[in-house]
Amino acid sequence: MARPKCCRRVTQAPECKVFKPAGVPISALNEIVLSVDEFEAIRLADLEELYHEQAAERMNVSRQTFGRIVEAARRKVAQVLSEGLALRIEGGEVEAPEERTFKCDKCRHTWREPYVTGRPEECPECKSKSVYRVQDNGGPMIRGGDCQKRLCRGRRS
């Protein structure tokens, strides 16, 4: 019997949850589902260009587990691109920060937004569009999927 999956820490939700070839109705396409933790693994490895060890630490998994996650994710993305399928991002045993911190590049104002609200368009103080996310470490987490805190005992920071 396989060991239950530990929660994987995710710090950024996808902006879009479905991708499909242009000009083809989604109802006419087969779908591949990329879990949120697979999305996070690709984002950390390929977009942020982190070493597997650093990315694994951010996701609260072992380096070997991270390698398996990112390999499965890349295989799914390659299949979607080569076969013209739809890609849906959802599910997985993940934990995410309850809130994210943003900062304005113009007035330096810092504020927090709930995790599920998406990226803010402008600074609430000066209305500048030049806002960016500040990397959070720690803080309260929300869990999704079948994540159970007891499964992650010993690996949690």
Mean pLDDT per 10-residue section of the chain, whose length is 157 residues:
70 83 92 93 94 92 94 97 94 74 90 77 92 66 48 39
Beta-bridge mates of residue 143: 95
CA dihedral in degrees (35, 37, 40, 46; nearest 10)? -80
pTM, two decimal places: 0.66
**Which structure tokens are listed for 66?**
């991270």
Residues 72, 74: Cα–Cα separation, whole Å:
6
Contact 86, 20 (CB under 8 A): yes
Contact 37, 69 (CB under 8 A): yes
